[in-house]
Structure 1
Amino acid sequence: MRISKRVAAIVAAGAFSFAAPVVMQFEGLRTTAYYDPIQIPTICYGHTLTATMGESKTIAECDQLLQDDMRQTLSGLAACVRPELQPNQWAALVSWSYNVGAGAACGSTLMRKVNAGATPDEWCPELRRWVYAGGQRLAGLVRRREAELKLCLGS
């Protein structure tokens, strides 16, 4: 996968090293395909794009999928985030967008605030609004958003 210079710079700044543990913790590793809480076929660390029920992957394949998915997520975000952000802020956005999708992330109020020049104290708390899946508030998403918020604010 070819990545832009901006994405490469963000990766080099350490955003992935901050984001990967959050993604891994909250997605969990499952080497056999399963249905997520809203019945989407999923495998490995929350990979949904090509997951099919009955499929299995090795840990090495899951690790590669995670890297590829995180790069794709970051590329999607880099296309819609205009200001320069700190690595911890990128990491929080990558984890969030990995979960909700770059399209939803880029079209969100949170992203409008980021691009309007709001301070992290103003836009990071928007993460707390993203705790619903399939119309239901999920405790796991509440915990994940709190972890992403702390990462975003650097605390």
Structure 2
Amino acid sequence: MTMNKRLVCSVALVIGLVTGGVALEATQSVGKVALENIEQTVLRISPKGLSIIGNAEGCRLDPYTCPAGRPTNGIGNTHGVQEKKVSLEQVAKDWVKNVEGAEQCIRQAEIAAKKVMTQGQFDAFTSFSFNTGCQRLRQNRNGSTTQIYRYLQQGQFTQACDQLPRWIYGGGVKLKGLVHRREQEYARCMALD
């Protein structure tokens, strides 16, 4: 019998590395990332938003295959994954890079809308974009614009929030993990902070 040892890491610890120890429930933008040896990086997402992403994705130091069939490590990282264990510092650096990409997607929708989202809306949609990828957030499989992205571009952010609970299927199957994640994103999206 072969035993596969999973090397799990702490999402809270990684958030602490990224934020410099700011409380997980903080709802203000992270701002300048606290990691050493990383470019001047500023994240707009809050620690609370990072918690939603991190707790939904989980954290693994060893590579594994995600439900979408992609080699993955860290906190949902699918870029440059090698067949070896990574450090907590590398997990944090990869995560910051990936969150930056999700933020960029959401900022582009804000620019199109000519409106600024609340912190909760930005957190929720950054988590959503991190999960689905920017391309899938924007387009249906047939190439048409998704309803959620149409609302985002039109600045109808509350209506876009209302779309989140619909995105709970993976491969045509309703997934409990996505149901929980969308509940968290929806609550954050509707928060008044």
Q: Which residue of the partner structure matches residue 126 of structure 1?
A: 163
Paired amino acid for 2:106: L
Q: CA deviation at 1:136?
A: 2.0
Structure 1 vs Structure 2 CA RMSD = 1.9
Q: CA deviation at 1:127?
A: 0.7
Separation in structure 1 between the aligned mates of residue 134 and residue 46 of structure 2, nearest angstrom:
16
Q: CA deviation at 1:14?
A: 5.1
Q: CA deviation at 1:11?
A: 5.8
Q: CA deviation at 1:38?
A: 2.6
Structure with higher RCO (Cα < 8 A, 6+ apart) = 1
| Gapped regions of structure 2 (runs ≥ 5) | 1-28, 32-42, 140-145
2:155 counterpart of 1:117: yes
> What TM-score do you get using the length of structure 2 for normalisation?
0.68
Classify the secondary structure of the residue corresponding to 1:31: strand
Pair member with larger Rg: 2
Q: Which residue of the partner structure matches residue 102 of structure 1?
A: 134
Paired amino acid for 1:143: H
Show CA shifts across 1:9-33 (max 9, x none).
x764952323111111110110001
Q: CA deviation at 1:147?
A: 0.3
Query: Going by fraction, where is helix more abundant, 1 or 2?
Result: 1
Runs of 4+ in 1 over 3 A off after TM superposition: 10-14
| Gapped regions of structure 1 (runs ≥ 5) | 1-9
Classify the secondary structure of the residue corresponding to 1:126: helix
**Within 5 Å, which residues of 2 pair with 1:4-153?**
12=31, 15-52=45-82, 54-81=83-110, 82=113, 83-107=115-139, 108-120=146-158, 122-153=159-190
Q: 1:91 to 1:131 in 2, by over 3 A?
A: same
> What TM-score do you get using the length of structure 1 for normalisation?
0.83
Are the equivalent residues in 2 in contact too, given 1:41–1:48 (CA < 8 A)?
Answer: yes
Are the equivalent residues in 2 in contact too, given 1:110–1:126 (CA < 8 A)?
Answer: yes
Tell me whether 76-85 or 139-148 shows the greater mean CA deviation: 76-85
Q: CA deviation at 1:77?
A: 2.1
Q: Which residue of the partner structure matches residue 154 of structure 1?
A: 191
Are the equivalent residues in 1 in contact too, given 2:165–2:182 (CA < 8 A)?
Answer: yes
Are the equivalent residues in 1 in contact too, given 2:121–2:157 (CA < 8 A)?
Answer: no
* Sequence identity (%): 24
